[in-house]
Amino acid sequence: MKIKKEYPILIAVIIALGAYLYLKPSDRMQYTLPDIPAIERADINKIEIIRPGEDPIVLEKKDETWRVGENAYPADATKVDSMLNTLADFSVTDLVSESKAFERFELDKEKGIRIKAFTGADLVREFDMGKTAASFRHTYVKLAKEDAIYQAAGNFKRSFDLSLDAIRNKTVTDFPVEAIRSITALRETETVTFTRTEKEAAGAAEKTSEKAEETTDTPPAPVIVWKRTDGEETPDADMQSFLAKLNKIKCQRFETNPADGAYANPVYRFELTDTDKKTYTLSVFEKLSEDVNDYPATSTMAMEPFILSRWELNQILDKLPAPNAPKAEEKTTES
């Protein structure tokens, strides 16, 4: 009987303990995360990336186009999209430290990167970016005018830890493919010109006078070919394939301080002329040394000289419909 009387007491103790554990605030609930004001990515028109000891990298939207740096270089649209998404979706998930352990999280004056976003002249987002968390899906941040360190959702390094050259749009050729009417290609010492020509379709002139009044068939459309300097004809499909490869190529990097003599005499040059007689030219020069694989180059469609990879150059040469076209790496020098 004594044991039976203890059952209700034991049950009451278990219920009380369970209620206590359920209602007891956990350590995680002892702080309140800050409210992050919402912003629309479409409203952001200026971004600043400020590294310690360096000039700020400023991106600004002008006439619906994002530009970067003092010279207003066109910015890479994919990289700008990543920045805008990060700024608009910015949220903190955890309080990490209130002990000012900035160096531990790379938020100190030597390593922290400050990010600012503006709508018009109004500063709408500001925080310091530290290192990426071990998960690579979070970043340690410090909000403006606060010492607390938070964990924010996302890998911000991929969006903001970039040099000015990395943010620039690396596209160095851009022309209206369908409007091109003439192509002149220099390959080392050989120059060949292709001219777009329309010729009568085969069999179009064989219609007899007896049936001329009877037929209602639409005459065959002219055939487009490209006549080379030597009189040979190249199919339009081959030239379109070449133009598609030559258009919108990307460089390795831009050369703000080109080496002396690097852009003297081109070894490859591609000059295009469109229906309005406007020309577009890509020139490729000798490698700076034998131990490098890339080539100095210029383009009338780019603001500065740049470095073109050997792989990209060979892709262009492979598509050029001309006989005896050696690849760039096959070039040899006589001793």
What would the pLDDT profile of 111-137 be if each residue is shown by its tens digit? 999 999 999 999 999 999 999 999 899
pLDDT digit string, tens, across residues 33-50: 999 999 999 999 999 999
Question: Is pLDDT at 333 greater than 50 in this prediction?
Answer: no
Task: Give tens-digit pLDDT for 288-303.
Answer: 777 788 999 999 999 8
Pick from 165, 169, 186, 181: nearest CA to 301: 169
Mean pLDDT of the chain: 87
Dump the DSSP string for 23-91: HSPPGGGGS-PPP-----GGG--EEEEE-TTSPPEEEEEETTEEEETTTTEEBPHHHHHHHHHHHHT--
Determine the average pLDDT of the residues in 6-33. Answer: 62
Rounded Cα gap, residues 325 and 270, in angstroms: 14
- Identify the residue with better confidence: 331 or 75: 75
pLDDT of residue 256: 79
DSSP 262-278: TTSSEEEEEEEEETT--
Contact 259, 173 (CB under 8 A): no
What pLDDT, on a 0 to 100 scale, did the predictor assign at position 287?
86
Q: Is the pLDDT of residue 191 over 60?
A: yes
User: Residue 258: what pLDDT?
Assistant: 78
Please tell me which of 28-37, 109-118, 197-206 the model is most confident about, judged by mean pLDDT: 109-118
Between 22-31, 76-85, 272-281, the lowest mean confidence (pLDDT) is in 22-31
pLDDT at 335 over 70: no
* pLDDT tens track for 258-313: 777 778 889 999 999 999 999 999 999 998 777 788 999 999 999 899 999 999 99
CB 115, CB 160: distance < 8 Å: yes
What order of strands is seen across the sheet that includes strand 223-228? 233-235, 223-228, 190-199, 180-187, 266-274, 279-285, 294-299, 306-309, 253-254
Of residues 197 and 219, the one with the higher pLDDT is 197
Q: Residue 194's beta-bridge partner residues?
A: 183, 228
Q: Which residue has the higher pLDDT, 20 or 143?
A: 143
pLDDT of residue 262: 75
Percentages of the chain per state (helix, strand, coil), in multiples of 5: 25, 35, 40
Higher pLDDT, 20 or 101: 101
> What's residue 275's pLDDT?
96
